[in-house]
């Protein structure tokens, strides 16, 4: 692989040196996904959730054209309050680098960073996919999932997408969709979708064993782990769907929050933390099985 210059935080450097488990976190959710001040609070809460499970968080973002793998408290605060932050997918890397820009990395952008930093586990909320009623709006997240071998923990795809088409695309590209303790593909705010995952697994260890078997079989695609939103904050599909149909895209998440009287935001925050915890457990199981291999 080519050498790509990026900056590691002190914590991430220490974790690499001591071979301790790392969990990557995306930052589009900070720059574009959530309003201030909930965005900074959530970013800190996700980092804490990862640490509480015995792993080190690596929040990924661009500051002044430099890719950061792990942010200090001050850098995280700066990113959360940046007015001109760009949403950075893979095709935007060169643009941000040559222009010295700031940005939050999407799922695909974060996965590209993980490929360079050799991070195997990543937690996010929802991934991008195939949009409803719009031909050729297909997220670069799907391309990244098809080509970058790592474990991505999410609560399903973004709520506004065409879920059956998104799952078909993942099948075409050879991306296994694991249901964590469920046979049903979770739908972000809702635990149910009426759609099947490709395999159900219950424990972090089973997920690690599955991922290794997948890559040993010669595949380069990611393993997508879908973790349903916790019961307490879940919103049923029948309650959610009319709100989704009413809210139109650019203002969608803000509008959903108004229509649902804050319920959608609570679900969003809850599922993000829940995914950070599961990803940290998987990263630990991964690290343990790598140690066993060496011994």
By beta-carbon proximity to Mn ion, the closer residue of 27 and 270 is 27
Structure token digits, residue 145: 């999932």
By beta-carbon proximity to Mn ion, the closer residue of 8 and 87 is 87
Report in angstroms how near the CB of residue 160 gets to ligand PSU at its nearest: 8
The answer to whether the beta carbons of residues 25 and 276 sit under 8 Å apart is yes
Tell me which residues are annotated as active site.
26, 158
Which 12-71 residues touch Mn ion, going by CB under 5 A?
none
Burial 64-78 (b: 16+ CB within 10 A, else e): eeebbbbbeeebbeb
Q: How many CB atoms lie within 10 A of CB 172?
A: 10
Length of the chain in terms of residues written? 295
Count the site residues for Mn ion by CB under 5 A: 2
Which of 33, 57, 179, 204 forms a contact with ligand PSU (CB under 6 A)?
A: 33
Which 156-195 residues touch ligand PSU, going by CB under 6 A?
158
Instruction: Write each residue from 70 to 109 as x if it is in contact with ligand PSU (CB under 6 A), else as -, in one continuous string.
Output: ------------------------------------xx--
Instruction: Write each residue from 35 to 74 as x if it is in contact with ligand PSU (CB under 6 A), else as -, in one continuous string.
Output: ----------------------------------------
Place of tokens 């071998």: 149
Partner in contact with 28, chosen from ligand PSU, Mn ion, none, beta carbon below 5 to 8 Å by kind: ligand PSU
Which 168-227 residues touch Mn ion, going by CB under 5 A?
none
Which of 11, 26, 82, 162 forms a contact with ligand PSU (CB under 6 A)?
A: 26
By beta-carbon proximity to Mn ion, the closer residue of 127 and 286 is 127
Which 96-155 residues touch Mn ion, going by CB under 5 A?
137, 139
Instruction: Write each residue from 112 to 141 as x if it is in contact with ligand PSU (CB under 6 A), else as -, in one continuous string.
Output: -------------xxxx----------xxx
Structure token digits, residue 236: 């049923």
The answer to whether the beta carbons of residues 220 and 214 sit under 8 Å apart is no
The answer to whether the beta carbons of residues 70 and 11 sit under 8 Å apart is yes
By CB under 6 A, name the binding residues for ligand PSU. 26, 28, 32-33, 106-107, 125-128, 139-141, 158
Interacting residues with Mn ion (CB under 5 A): 137, 139
């Amino acid at each position: 692989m080519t050498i790509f210059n990026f900056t590691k935080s002190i914590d991430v450097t220490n974790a690499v040196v001591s071979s301790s488990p790392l969990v990557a976190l995306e930052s589009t959710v900070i720059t574009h996904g959530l309003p201030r001040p909930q965005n900074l609070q959530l970013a800190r809460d996700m980092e804490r959730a990862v640490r509480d499970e015995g792993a080190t968080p690596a929040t990924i973002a661009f500051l002044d054209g430099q890719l950061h793998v792990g942010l200090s408290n001050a850098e995280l605060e700066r990113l959360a309050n940046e007015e001109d932050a760009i949403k950075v997918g893979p095709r935007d890397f060169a643009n941000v680098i040559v222009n010295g820009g700031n940005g939050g990395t999407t799922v695909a952008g974060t996965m590209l960073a993980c490929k360079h930093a050799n991070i195997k586990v990543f937690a996010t909320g929802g991934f991008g996919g195939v949009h409803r009623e719009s031909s050729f709006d297909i997220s670069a997240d799907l391309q990244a999932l098809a080509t970058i071998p790592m474990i991505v923990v999410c609560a399903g795809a973004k709520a506004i997408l065409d879920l059956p088409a998104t799952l078909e695309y993942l099948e075409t590209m050879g991306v296994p969709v694991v249901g964590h303790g469920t046979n049903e593909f979770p739908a972000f705010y809702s635990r149910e979708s009426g759609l099947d995952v490709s395999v159900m697994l219950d424990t972090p260890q089973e997920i690690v064993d599955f991922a290794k078997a997948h890559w040993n079989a010669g595949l380069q695609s990611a393993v997508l782990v879908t973790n349903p939103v916790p019961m307490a904050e879940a919103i049923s599909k029948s309650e959610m769907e009319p709100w989704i149909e009413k809210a139109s895209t650019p203002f969608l998440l803000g509008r959903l929050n108004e229509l649902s009287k804050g319920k959608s935001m609570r679900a969003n925050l809850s599922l993000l933390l829940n995914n950070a915890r599961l990803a940290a457990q998987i990263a630990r199981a991964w690290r343990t099985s790598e140690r066993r291999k060496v011994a």
